[in-house]
Structure 1
Amino acid sequence: MTTLASYLQIANNQAKWQAITAKSPDVATQTKYFKDNIGKVTSVDAFMKDTRLFNYAMTAFGLGSMTYAKGLMQKALDGGVSKNSALANTLNNANIKAFVTAFDFADNGATTTSSSTLVDNVVSRYTEQALETSQGQQNPGVQLALYFQQRAPSLTSVYGILADSNILTVVQTALGISSSTSSQSIDTQYRLLSSKVNLADFKDPTKLQQFISRFAAQYDYNNGGDANSQSSLLSTLFDSSSSGSSFGLDSSLLLNMQGMKLGYF
């Protein structure tokens, strides 16, 4: 299956795929532990000491690769998010800020973890992360597409694209921008992306899907997609019986796919 076909299969049935993921043995075991024990945590220190709880929460917020950074995360949690000078507000990391906002012991104290909304939010995020990871083991492009679908609508600045390597990869791939531009100054990259990306489009479900479709097509080509796979992708894109709607990709993308050419759209 093409990257887009695999992505659509999940995106069009998100609740079903999350439910399947939630029932997988490892996810179910880790989630049960979190639900059974998070309410017992009444302070940052207690939270940090329970490695399973801390790692679960970190993974849920896309910070699984930073579980070693307990010193940094404790300082961020201790500072909360209410002050502009708080560490979580100055790190330019949306995931850390979201994590500290959810576990806001600084403002909410011992009642922080008693919220059912918090538990549901963290569990949903963890399940989504597990779904993305499992799909990434089969096709990294699908993982990137799902990641982008979840996070792109919340972007408030082009700097947010530059601060997230996964989102940046999707944008660069979709627009045919060489990854080598990442070695340029931040200001130069900002100007380039600002001229090509309208963040408001990512808040529009139709335009968001168009962008992800563009990414998926270019991703498959970049990673060795042949004429047959491109033909299959075209069929998926414009066969209403399979996707329910056309994403309205523009003619330049079709020419790119049909002529097997690389370049900016």
Structure 2
Amino acid sequence: MVGTLTSFQNLSRDIPAAISQVAAQPFEAREVEYFSKTIQTIKSVEDFMADRRVYAFAMQAFGLGEMTYAKAFMEKVLTEGISDDESFANSLSDPRYREFAKAFNFESFGSAATSFDRAQGEVVDKYLRQTLEEGQDNEGVRLALYFQRKAPDVTSYLQILAQPAIATVVRTALGIPEATAALDLDKQVEILSAKLDLAEFQSPEGIEKLLTKFTALYDINNPQTTDAGGVGLLFGQSGALGIDMNTMLQIQQLRRS
């Protein structure tokens, strides 16, 4: 079996070509065509939530596929938007919800929200990249691809800890035990700051260095999880690492209301 380091290096040499292969698959091509044609006709949060294919496509694009079932939760994210610092999306630690509300910004732009490229072409690009990542049998490669895409946006240690996939890559690369995830946030930040300079996230060389360490160590730390059997722990299922506790509590509160 090809190791994580080699698999990731082979794939990352030409990401656009890999994405083009994804886009050419019959199912993905149909979904992209439907979304691209339909999103322009959607003028409200209600319209958006009512169209199952558009809604599911958008959720997949932002890596929120495991949350597709939580429609009341996502409707609240969209309805309150991001203009108010205390809005629902802004209160969540996971930045994906703010990104989602920003892309489909009905709160600020009303019926014109879907006329912007961030709600059209940019969402299609995200969908194809996300599908590429989730299509990898090797979970280590999936983690590395996600980190490669998201790391440049990280500007604080708390942002690392708020995203389970990024936190796992960092802990593995730096030799920090996974068990530290159970510690208080302040202690986790202390551990990270002693081993990691955040400036590494702002340079391609720094990101490549971390990814080389991660992919080299992943197979050593996870000898039985480099195939499809381990996929989904961080990405596709609502496990303890896939959805943070804050989000789960918010879902439960919405269900009771």
Normalising TM by the smaller chain, what interval?
Answer: 0.7 to 0.9
**TM-score scaled by length of structure 1:** 0.81
Partner of 2:201: 202
Secondary structure, counterpart of 1:52 in structure 2: helix
Aligned counterparts of 1:117 and 1:99: Cα–Cα separation in 2: 10
Give aligned-pair identity as a percent: 40
Secondary structure, counterpart of 1:92 in structure 2: coil
**TM-score scaled by length of structure 2:** 0.84
In 1, are the aligned partners of 2:103 and 2:118 still within 8 Å (CA)? no
Partner of 1:153: 152
Aligned counterparts of 1:32 and 1:205: Cα–Cα separation in 2: 33
Aligned counterparts of 1:11 and 1:177: Cα–Cα separation in 2: 25
Q: Report the alpha carbon displacement of residue 120 of structure 1 after superposing the two structures with TM.
A: 1.1
Structure 1: any 5+ residue segments left out of the alignment? 226-265
Secondary structure, counterpart of 1:107 in structure 2: helix
- RMSD, aligned CA: 1.3
Where do residues 147-226 of structure 1 align in structure 2 (5 Å cutoff)? 147-224=146-223
Aligned counterparts of 2:172 and 2:27: Cα–Cα separation in 1: 33
Q: Which has the higher contact order (CA 8 A, sep 6+)?
A: 2
Once the two structures are superposed, what CA deviation does each residue of 1:49-88 show, in whole Å capped at 9, x if it has no partner? Answer: 1111111101101111011111111111111111111111
The one-letter code of the counterpart of 1:218 is L
Q: Report the alpha carbon displacement of residue 133 of structure 1 after superposing the two structures with TM.
A: 0.8
Aligned counterparts of 1:4 and 1:173: Cα–Cα separation in 2: 13
Aligned counterparts of 2:96 and 2:23: Cα–Cα separation in 1: 22
Aligned counterparts of 1:207 and 1:162: Cα–Cα separation in 2: 18
Q: How many residues align?
A: 223
Once the two structures are superposed, what CA deviation does each residue of 1:100-155 show, in whole Å capped at 9, x if it has no partner? Answer: 011000111111112234311100100011100111xx211000000000001101
Partner of 1:48: 49
The one-letter code of the counterpart of 1:223 is N
Where do residues 60-209 of structure 1 align in structure 2 (5 Å cutoff)? 60-135=61-136, 138-209=137-208
Aligned counterparts of 1:44 and 1:224: Cα–Cα separation in 2: 45
Structure 2: any 5+ residue segments left out of the alignment? 225-257
